[in-house]
Structure 1
Amino acid sequence: MPYFPITQKALNHISSVDKQLAEIIATYPKPKRLLYSSAFECIVSCIIQQQISGKTAEKIFTKIKAQLQQITPQNIIQCGIQNLNNCGVPERKATTISNIAQASINETLNFEEIANLPENEIIKILSAYKGIGAWTIEMLLIFALKKTDIFSTKDFGIKRGFYKLHPNANINEYKKRYSPYGTTASIYLWEIK
């Protein structure tokens, strides 16, 4: 699987606007954040990850992958909501996943088409689906669509890393500074435990 591409240009920019994060960049080799093989697989994983620990989400996702072999809209529909529940997916999330799968099959939601749209259009389209919020869309933009300027101020790991470096700073101000390489800043902030 490929990793999110971190460029030297992005590292130089982040280092020039945040001296504390520059020290982290100098200390760590380029973090390797896996990309998903498809946008659909990514959104399923992100829905599962909503508001639960990474370990729990990984367990659930692994069970689903073992059952389905491949995460596709057709396989999700064939699996059914009850089987998703049996894998540990709560009813609400299972319904959201099923609705997204059905929309993909019906072609009312085409991930290949939306991948080429501006980010604000992608957000508008996906947020129309119940159970899909800003965080889920931001993670899709990073880990499936490889967008370079995503900085989720709602993400627990990003906030944790940011406030360890900048206890009294305004995270939204730094989001502006990091642009147009917010994703690279995000990836490094996730590394700070």
Structure 2
Amino acid sequence: MLSFLEPLIEIEPKFQQIIDTYGLPTITTRPSGFIALSQLILEQQVSMASAKACYDKIENYLNGFTPKLILEASDEVLKKCGVSRQKISYLKNLAFTIQQNHMDLESFQYKTEQEVFNELIQLKGIGKWTAQVYLMFCLQKKDIFPIGDIAIQHSMRELFNLETLEEMENHAENWKPFRSLATYLLWHHYLKKRNR
């Protein structure tokens, strides 16, 4: 994705300032599939460490992490592993959808960003932000801009003096088709500026 830096910087020179100040961002990827989506559900509104501990407990207790194992696990077992009642329903719904072949995660590689996004947000517990993060990290889609992310909003205010989400989204239109890379640079700015 960093190969798109030059054309993006031509469009938006401020990104060069981020690189000059903080260096290049590290662009991490995650495997795609049922486990990745389940982990994103577990990560909602909690720390990464807490979500990882929760996932590890489930995997250890069930001796694996598959749609079949999640559907067979009782709510009590999942609760003991630290999963909230709401997230249990999200995980079971996702597992059921996959097991019944109502959604083919493998096919996402061949679909457009919009097609995948539209499918994902039909699932209970998968909102815009979760779908966009899956598209960026798991499918490496190139033109995603998760405007609901608080760090992105902070960086847009700091760097471009934009206040409303509408202004931010309109400004980001200029960065097409490299908005995922722009997002990584905005996160990089946000974290480095705050020594994280």
Q: TM-score range by the shorter chain?
A: 0.7 to 0.9
Measured in 2, the distance between the counterparts of 1:34 and 1:72 equals 24
Determine the structure 2 residue equivalent to 1:182: 179
Structure of higher CA gyration radius: 2
**Alpha carbons of structure 1 residues 161 and 69: separation in structure 2 relative to 1, 3 Å:** farther
Q: Which amino acid aligns with 2:87?
A: K
1:132 pairs with 2:93: no
Pick from 82, 99, 104 the counterpart of residue 110 of structure 1.
Answer: 104
**Alpha carbons of structure 1 residues 68 and 163: separation in structure 2 relative to 1, 3 Å:** farther
1:77 pairs with 2:68: no
Pick from 2, 6, 14 the counterpart of residue 7 of structure 1.
Answer: 2
CA contact (8 A) 1:80 1:98 kept: no
Alignment: residue pair count? 187
Pick from 31, 36, 41 the counterpart of residue 37 of structure 1.
Answer: 31
Measured in 2, the distance between the counterparts of 1:167 and 1:51 equals 27
Measured in 2, the distance between the counterparts of 1:69 and 1:190 equals 35
TM-score by length of 1: 0.83
Measured in 2, the distance between the counterparts of 1:48 and 1:12 equals 36
**Alpha carbons of structure 1 residues 110 and 26: separation in structure 2 relative to 1, 3 Å:** same
Larger CA deviation: 166-175 vs 89-98: 166-175
Give the fraction of aligned pairs with identical amino acids, expressed as a percent.
27
CA-based RMSD of the aligned residues comes to 2.2
| 3-state secondary structure, aligned to 1:115 | helix
Determine the structure 1 residue equivalent to 2:146: 152
Measured in 2, the distance between the counterparts of 1:33 and 1:81 equals 36
Larger CA deviation: 97-106 vs 21-30: 21-30
**Alpha carbons of structure 1 residues 164 and 96: separation in structure 2 relative to 1, 3 Å:** same
CA contact (8 A) 1:21 1:165 kept: no
Measured in 2, the distance between the counterparts of 1:187 and 1:66 equals 33
**Alpha carbons of structure 1 residues 145 and 71: separation in structure 2 relative to 1, 3 Å:** farther
Determine the structure 1 residue equivalent to 2:156: 162
Larger CA deviation: 181-190 vs 69-78: 69-78
Measured in 1, the distance between the counterparts of 2:137 and 2:62 equals 21
Residue 66 (structure 1) shift: 4.2
Q: Deviations over 1:39-75 (max 9, x none)?
A: 2222112112223344433443343344456533233
Q: Which consecutive residues of structure 1, in runs of 5 or more, have no partner in the other structure? A: 1-5
Measured in 1, the distance between the counterparts of 2:184 and 2:73 equals 33
Residue 20 (structure 1) shift: 2.4
Measured in 2, the distance between the counterparts of 1:49 and 1:25 equals 29
